[in-house]
Chain A
């Protein structure tokens, strides 16, 4: 008897892995981005299966809604044609060795992860969203405030980085006539 939840999880994780592979091996950057969004949807579904509904909502709202939009703008602004085909690096000896190395790394890490003794003992009752809100706004208040100021600094810094220092813009800034 196969558990229904197990079947759903296998489908979700298969979708996540296919999306990640598609992101890495697409020859067009726009396609990589679409595959990555697919993966993030699958990860949000995995969050749901771990009964982290709030995090799934944050994942979809923040990652798919805003971060991917920003990356899409980056794709649009850094190439002459959106559908340009990237010249993927040819498969030479070094990339083959590094691919095999990463694959072996995944296998070793998987084995260490699945057979770790921490999975033997546990409560296996997932926390609730109410406890999450309580933790963020009571136990981790300072971290949340620091995180807010970090985000503000990041936005100010990124708008400073992309400033346009051409003379005509500086003159316009100082109120000069056209």
Chain B
């Protein structure tokens, strides 16, 4: 089996790239995808710790995180769809309804 610390390092790199994407993009769907990327990086970390300690709880947390990510995507896209039907765009700069 591969050294678990390498898997954790891959998780760190993916998390950083996802963080960069959330800063960089204006399109709300791409920001949502980058958040998915960061969640996946966190899952990699859980799996690395689980295989390091031989403890199955990390896998359980990963399964829970995947299920919560599915719920989050459903809610997020529903919000984006209703935003698109009211504003006509999903650019994060255009959605200023709640400011001021």
Interface residues, chain A, CB within 8 Å of chain B? Answer: 5-6, 9, 13, 16-17, 20-21, 23-24, 29, 32-33, 36, 39-40, 43, 46-47, 49-52, 54-55, 58-59, 62-63, 66-67, 70-71, 73-75, 77-78, 86, 88-89, 95, 98-99, 102-103, 105-106, 109-110, 113-114, 116, 118-119, 122-127, 131-132, 134-136, 139-140, 143, 147, 150-151, 154-155, 157-159, 161-162
Contact = CB atoms under 8 A, between A and B. Distances in A.
Interface in B38-75: 40, 43-44, 47-57, 59-60, 62-64, 66-75
What is the interface residue range for chain B against chain A? 35 or more
13 contacts: A24-B25, A36-B37, A51-B1, A67-B69, A70-B74, A73-B77, A78-B84, A88-B24, A109-B15, A119-B5, A143-B60, A154-B71, A161-B75
B5 A102 contact: no
Interface of B: 1-10, 12-21, 23-27, 29-30, 32-34, 36-37, 40, 43-44, 47-57, 59-60, 62-64, 66-75, 77-82, 84, 90
A81 B81 CA distance: 16
A110 B60 CA distance: 25
